[in-house]
Amino acid sequence: MKRDKINRVLGRIPTHFIVIFTILIWVVPTFGLLITSIRPVQDVNTTGWWTVFSSQEANAPYIQSCAACHGADGKTIPQADLSNPELTAKYPRSLQLLALLRKDIDGKPHMGDIPLPTSQEAADIASYLRGASSGEVSSRFTTSNYVDALVGYRGRNSYLQDCSENAQSLDLKCDASDLLNPRGMGRAFLNSLFITIPATILPILFAAFAGYAFAWMHFKGRFILFAILVGLQVVPLQMTLVPISRLYAQMGLNGTFLGVWLFHTGFGMPYAIYLMRNFLGSLPSDLFEAAYLDGASHWTAFTKLVIPLAMPAIASLGIFQFLWVWNDLLVALVFLGGTTPVMTYQISNMVTSLGAGWHLLTASAFLSMLLPMIVFFAFQRYFVRGMMAGAVKG
Ligand code: HEC
C-alpha cells in the first residue's frame, strides 16, 4: 500500500514538471516584455530587462568609478562640471559615455588606473547624470512608452518630454488630437474595434439562424448542404485572397470596412454553423415538439427557446471569433492596407529594420492585449462551458 502511494506520487512528477515547464516558457518572456514596456528607452537600448532586479543605488556605480576625480557632486573639476546639464547632455547614453572614457586625456587614460565601468554600470551612471543635472531622480520605470505608442511618437525623447521642452522646434501639437493620429495605437485601437465588433456579431447571428435550420427544420437536401458547409472549412483563407480582392475591386469594396466585415463573416461562418448545429441538435427534441404543438412558429421557437438555451455556445463562439479577428493581420493588411491601420498592422511597423523601437513594440503589444484579456476574463465561465458543449452530449 505504501509503495502504491509512492508510485502514484512518482508517476505524477513528469506531468507536474511538464505543466510547470510550459507555464514558465510562456510566462517568463511575457513578463520580460511587460518589464521592457515600462523601462525608459535609454535603459531598454543598453541593458536587459532582468537587470532591473539588481538592487543598486542609482549613484553607487558613479561613486565607485567617477567620484574619485569628479567629486561626489560632480563639481570638483571646474572645466568638466558633471552637474552641468549642458555638458552631460552631450553624453545621453552609456555608449557615448563609454566612448568618451576610452579616449585619452593628455595621452593618459581618462580614468587612470580605475577600471572602466561595465555597460550596465555606464547605463546607471548615464541615467544618474541625467537625473542629477535635470534635478529629478531618474526612475527605473516609466509609463512614457505607453504614451509614445498611443500617439505613435518615434522621437529621440519621449513624447511628453518633447512636448514640455521642444514643442515649438519639433512642431508638435501636443493636444488630444494626437491620440487619433494614424501613426499611433490609439487610432488603430478604434479601427480594430470598429472591424471586430460587426465581424464577430454577424457570423454568429447568421450561424445561429443556419444552425437552427439545419437542426430543426425539415427541408430537402439539408444533409448534403450541411456536409458541403462542413467541407468548406478546408478551403484555406489565403487561397481566396486574390479572387476576392479582384471581386472587391469590381464592387468598389477594397479599402472599406464593409469588405473586411464580409470577409470575416464568410470565413467565420462554416465553423460557427457547424458548432451551432451540433449544439442545437443536442437539445431535447421534446422541447421543440411541445413548442410546435402549442402553435409556436419557427421564429418564436428561435427567439424564445434557442437563443437563451444556446447562450454558452454563442458566448464561446463569440470569444473565438473575437480573438481571431482582433489578432488578424493578413486580412486587414490585404483589404485595408496602411490607410486604415489596425493594431496588428501598427505593431508590425513599430520595430525598424535596424531593430530600434523595442520600447514601443512591447508597449504596443500590451495595449493590444488589453481588450482580449478583458473579454476573456469577462466570459471565462462560458469559455470552459462552451468547449465542453461539443464534448458532453446528453
Ligand atoms: C582619474 C580621474 C578621472 C576619473 C576617474 C574620471 N574622470 Fe572624467 N575627467 C577627468 C578630467 C581630468 C577631465 C577633464 C578633461 C579636460 O579638461 O579635457 C574629465 C572630463 C570629463 C568629462 C567632460 C568631457 C567633455 O566633453 O569636456 C566628462 C563628461 C567626464 N569626465 C565624465 C566622467 C565619468 C562619467 C566618469 C566615471 C565613469 C569619469 N569622468 C571618471 C578625470 C577623471
Percent of the chain scoring above 90 in pLDDT: 31
Nearest atom (ligand 1) to Cα of 106: 18
Residues 302 and 189 in one domain: yes
Clarify whether residues 14 and 69 are in a common domain: no
Q: What is the CATH number of the domain that holds 288?
A: 1.10.3720.10
User: Which residue has its alpha carbon closest to ligand 1 atom 22?
Assistant: 80
- How many domains does the structure of the chain reveal? 4
Task: Pick the residue whose CA is nearest to atom 2 on ligand 1.
Answer: 69
Based on the domain organization, do 225 and 366 belong to the same domain?
yes
Q: Which domain holds residue 121?
A: 39-141
Q: Are residues 155 and 129 both part of a single domain?
A: no
Residue pair 291/305 in contact (Cβ under 8 Å)? The answer is yes
> Is the same domain home to 333 and 247?
yes
- What pLDDT was estimated at residue 388? 59
Considering 177, 199, 225, which residue would you say is the last residue of a domain? 177
Residues at CB less than 6 angstroms from ligand 1: 65-66, 68-70, 77, 79-80, 82, 87, 90-91, 97, 100-101, 105, 110-112, 114, 117, 125
Protein residue whose Cα sits closest to atom 18 of ligand 1? 105
Task: Please tell me the predicted confidence (pLDDT) of residue 133.
Answer: 55
Summary mean pLDDT of the chain = 85
pLDDT along the chain (394 residues), means of 10: 78 84 94 91 80 69 82 83 81 84 86 84 80 58 88 81 78 79 89 95 94 90 91 89 93 91 93 92 88 89 88 88 93 87 89 77 92 86 63 44
Instruction: Return the residue matching grid coordinates 472587391.
Output: 248
Q: Are residues 20 and 53 in the same domain?
A: no
Both 217 and 355 in one domain: the answer is yes
Atom 36 in ligand 1: residue holding the nearest Cα: 66
The 10s digit of each residue's pLDDT in 138-166 is: 567 888 889 988 988 887 778 888 888 77
Residues 283 and 312 both lie in one domain = yes
- Are residue 117 and residue 129 in the same domain, yes or no? yes
Nearest atom (ligand 1) to Cα of 91? 29
The answer to whether residues 281 and 191 belong to one domain is: yes
